Structure 1
Amino acid sequence: MRYRAVIFDLDGTLLDTLCDLRAAVNFALAQEGFGQRTLDEVRSYVGSGAYVLFERALPGEARPRVEACVEAFKGYYSTHVNVYTRPYPGVPEMLERLRAAGIRTGVCSNKFDAAVRLLCEAHFGALLDDFAGEGVNMPKKPAPDGCRRLMEKWGTGRAETLYAGDSDVDVQTARNAGLDCASVTWGFCPRTALQAAGATRYFASADALADYILA
């Protein structure tokens, strides 16, 4: 096997969270008197945490309202985090294959930590070993801190740990952590953005990714 451990991004990689994110974004915008956003618009905003999401969603003159939108978003999302969210096809089976092979698996996400844990436990249970979400002492990706925390806990080195994600932020995160990166093409980020970020390994299905890891 190529690796002893795999760190996954969550949104757009393991789970399709877009519909629930859009609902929470539009709730927050409505609370602050702004118009609604489409799925494609919300897709283009996500990946760098809630604060950056609303910096992208709001017009320039409304930037002072970002904090209020973030608070409204988190309040709504915390109770509507798992309404429409589902695993991508083949993801549970991929995690089962990795578990059976003795490979450590975890999630490093820019989603706030409580939501990461709730979603991972609801959809994957014991198929994931550990989680690192956004928190007070956890810088957001592309900072490598979350990945390093997981590797330290597992006792795995950089050469034996793979990072897998769907976005340019994930490519940068892997680079900053000194890890090989597997870029999945079923998620939120267009392939052109992955290419521009320097992605070199692309996977169109969870099964293909599992085959690569286990080869």
Structure 2
Amino acid sequence: MTRPIPVDAVVFDLDGTLIDSGRDIAVAANHVRAARGLPELPLATVLDFIGDGVPVLLRRVLGADGLTPEDRDRDAFHAHYRTHCLDHTRPYPGVADTLRALAGVPLLVATNKPSDYTGPMLAGLGLDGFFRRTVSGDEVPAKKPAPDMIHAVLAGLDLDPARVAMVGDSLNDVRAARAAGTVAVACTFGLRPADEMRAAGADAVAERFTDLTEILAPSS
């Protein structure tokens, strides 16, 4: 077994890492398509489009039919998702127990998701109490894969980035970790295969969220 990686803090992505939120995002995206008179896209198709923020998601779901997103599409997405973001979204199996096991060090969230959703969704799922701080995509100059979000969430904690783990399910998470000088732990229970994550520079791969208790060794 590979020796656990010593860490003084752990930063988590949200969607696809802590919570399985793809279905609710896909339903909101298809709501936008319906408002435009377009047929629903299969869930698997929309899931492939998720991960780079709402503007990119809308470009993909409408661009499939040659349309360009407008302000009304963004407004329709948020109006629907704000009301239905927890209809089907749940934490991945073992999240709460794993967070308790890692709680000897600061646990943080860095997500491209807008701040309007981050806090309420964590609270609605009973996860907010685990995290010392969250930083969302609208709170920094540049979203992941830029390192800004990781820098912001670590600000004032006086930590060596090399002893901080960034845990996420996307290539953007791995690239942001590399850019910030942190350990990159990739989750493959999302959409990306392990080989692709390792090729992007992941230091370790978690096939289940509970694997993090074996991959990471909190310092206290």
| TM-score normalised according to structure 2 size | 0.89
Tell me the SS of whatever aligns to 1:76: helix
- 1:46-95 deviation digits (Å, cap 9, x = unpaired): 111000111222226312x2443222111111111111100101111111
The correspondence of residues 113-192 of structure 1 with structure 2, limited to 5 A, is 113-123=115-125, 124-135=127-138, 137-192=140-195
Shift of 1:137: 4.2
**Which range moved further: 110-119 or 150-159?**
150-159
The correspondence of residues 84-95 of structure 1 with structure 2, limited to 5 A, is 84-95=88-99
**In angstroms, what is the RMSD of aligned CA positions?**
1.8
Identity %: 31
Higher helix share: 1
Amino acid across the alignment from 1:126: G
Shift of 1:206: 2.0
- Structure 1 gaps of 5+ residues are none
Aligned pair 1:37/2:41, yes or no? yes
Q: Judging changes above 3 Å, is the alpha-carbon distance between structure 1 residues 136 and 8 closer, same or farther for their aligned structure 2 residues?
A: closer
Match of 2:109 among 85, 93, 107: 107
**C-alpha separation between the residues in 2 aligned to 1:197 and 1:66?**
33
Tell me the SS of whatever aligns to 2:58: helix
- Structure 2 gaps of 5+ residues are none
| TM-score normalised according to structure 1 size | 0.91
Q: Judging changes above 3 Å, is the alpha-carbon distance between structure 1 residues 67 and 150 closer, same or farther for their aligned structure 2 residues?
A: same
**Which range moved further: 102-111 or 28-37?**
28-37
**C-alpha separation between the residues in 2 aligned to 1:143 and 1:115?**
21
Tell me the SS of whatever aligns to 1:188: coil
**C-alpha separation between the residues in 2 aligned to 1:94 and 1:69?**
38
Q: Which residue of 2 aligns with 1:17?
A: 21
2:23–2:88 contact (8 Å) kept in structure 1:
yes
